[in-house]
Structure 1
Amino acid sequence: MTTSMEKPRQVVRKFLARPQHEGVGAVVRRSIGRFELRYFDPFLVLDEFSVSAPAGFPDHPHRGFETVTYMLEGAVTHEDFEGHRGTIKAGDVQWMTAGRGIVHSEMPAGPGTSRGLQLWVNLSSHNKMIEPGYQEIQSKDIASTTSDGVTVRVIAGQSMGARSPVRTRTPTMYLDFTVRPHAAARQPVCATWNAFAYVLEGEGVFGGGGGGDKAGAHHLLLLGQGDGVEVWNRSDKPLRFLLIAGEPIGEPVAQLGPFVMNTEEEIDMTINDFEFSINGFEKAKHWKSQALVALGLE
């Protein structure tokens, strides 16, 4: 890739996402949303998850943000209290807007291990109470292109002439890069956005000027100010990493688990709405997912 930039972003923070238990029997490597990094505006959580049946993420609510689920291996079946049901497989993506309220279940489909990533993208105050919705894209329909030893899959935004059809209420770029040995990736990023990289496989050198920080699998790298990102693969194995950036919202964040609002009063209201099945949670009162019933957990 020959894209040039005036000020490549440097790594300002790097750490390893270590495994922890989440849901029912699932294992996640959480990099954003943990003690060391509670929030990276507009991103609330980044989990790399690994789950095998009967473990999973049974019925749970959300309000005030969006979840982006990107499958790497296996498959996950999703159900919600609106009657929406579907299965996303390796390479597929689901961009879910929780908005004013959703209760759903995410459980592995089929034998073996299902592995993927889930990103939580915050919504601005004027979007927090919008109606829930979904954008689902099969792997074959994700925009992808290859040049000079670099392949990119465009989950959101645009790269190397390829553009995603996903609509992002909070402006977001989500790119999946694979870099061949001894090749380099260069990607412009809006200078006012926050950006980070997450390494899935191999080892890369992140930063400008021929130097940079070396990082391997499961490392999160927060990137400083600049107009783009430069990454080198100086190893003999392929490098795969995610580059994710978003426009900061710049509003207060009040969070209680799966509820993300702007004030503690709004969190209290959300808890009340959920407990009494009102203001967006009306269907929660009598709904149970098929997965929950099958597991005998209801």
Structure 2
Amino acid sequence: MSHPSSTAAREVTRIVNPRFEPGRVDGHRARRLIDGRDVPATDPFLLMAEDHMPRDAFSRHPHRGIETVTLVLDGAIEHFDSAGHTGLIVAGDAQWMTAGRGVTHEENAVAGSMARTLQLWLNLPAGDKMAEPRYQDLRGATLPVRREPGVEVKVMSGRSGDIVSPTLNHVPVTALDARIDPGASFRQDLEPDTNAFVLVLDGDVRIGMQAISVGEGELAWLTRSDGPEGSQVTVAAASRGARMLLFASPPLREPVVFGGPFVMNTQAEVDQAFADYRDGRF
């Protein structure tokens, strides 16, 4: 396949596949697909964890300064927060939570069950760190879908082809959940300044003009395109077919200070977050 001369082809630059480790409670296993150790390389994506969890793995805890995108792959998650919001997210659904100035919440597997989830932390720009908290439940059955021969792309955020998601963003984020039949492929346009990665949930794919193989459970970071021209990534499924996620967003290039569940721009802001939490101002 050839690309127009004005479009840069995205390729795989590195692949990660961390091992599972024991988690917070008995029966909990987790792995960090994005570990927060190299923020300039992953910006604005801060952390991403895959959890196999029983109930009470994530009891009540706070957040400030970030958004979390929680995808349920198996089972179901009950949600509760300090503002009284409750809900149930089942396999195929996702929740896009803007913590903003502060949220205290719980995420629990249904009693007596196990759930498999992915949670991605997205950094908020300095001007939106103290935004009003917001929840968006993305129901798998009602997400807008791009369809091509052998390909179904659910658009959780942003655009794929002519399909645009209504999900609200503080910064532009493309988030896709794609199923590809054996031998099929699709192309995804990406803005030239975005940082992007692909996570293969099932099967295996070939990415880019170099057709780099990325297997089940592996996360592949894509090359960056910093020029003014657009860019595009080609993804093809091998003989087994595949399900994969793609995330892309422009880097913020701002200072990042982690304070447990708080992510701010300075240590003083992290200290203030802890003080506000202790004083019940979330």
TM-score normalized by the length of structure 1? 0.86
Shift, 1:212, TM fit: 3.1
**Structure 1, gaps ≥5 residues long:** 282-298
- The 5 Å alignment of 1:212-227 reads 212-226=211-225, 227=231
- Paired residues for 1:121-132 under 5 Å: 121-132=122-133
**Corresponding residue of 1:31:** 33
1:268 counterpart letter in structure 2: D
Does the 8 Å CA contact 1:254/1:260 hold for their aligned counterparts?
Answer: yes
Amino acid at match of 2:212: D
**Correspondence 1:194-209 to 2 at 5 A:** 194-208=195-209
Q: How many residues align?
A: 275
Over residues 154-193 of structure 1, what are the superposed CA-to-partner deviations in whole Å (9 max), with x where a residue is unaligned?
Answer: 1101113222110011210000111111111211011111
- Residue-by-residue CA offset, 1:247-268 (whole Å, 9 max, x unaligned): 2111100011110000111111
Q: Give the corresponding residue for 1:275.
A: 278
User: Could you tell me which residue of structure 1 aligns to residue 228 of structure 2?
Assistant: none
The aligned counterpart of 1:63 is: 64
What's the offset of the Cα at 1:74? 1.0
Deviations 1:72-111 (A, max 9, x none): 2111000011111111111111111101111100000254
Shift of 1:275: 1.9
Runs ≥4 residues deviating over 4 A: 1-5, 34-39
SS in structure 1 at match of 2:221: strand
Aligned match of 1:232: 236
User: What residue ranges of structure 2 are gaps of 5+ in the alignment?
Assistant: 226-230
Superposition pairs of residues 1-150 of structure 1, within 5 angstroms: 6-25=7-26, 26-35=28-37, 40-52=42-54, 54-150=55-151
TM-align CA RMSD? 2.1
| Equivalent pair of 1:3/1:187 in contact (CA under 8 Å) | no
CA distance in 2 between partners of 1:38 and 1:28 (Å): 24
5 Å-filtered alignment, 1:245-260, equals 245-260=248-263
Q: Which SS does the other structure have where 2:276 is aligned?
A: helix
**Matched position secondary structure for 2:126:** coil
Change (3 A) 1:36 1:123: closer
Partner amino acid, structure 2, of 1:186: R
CA contact (8 A) 2:3 2:9 kept: no
Segment drifting more, 268-277 vs 108-117: 108-117
Q: Distance in 2 between matches of 1:225 and 1:57?
A: 35
Distance 2:141 2:244 in 1: 20
Q: Distance in 1 between matches of 2:38 and 2:45?
A: 14
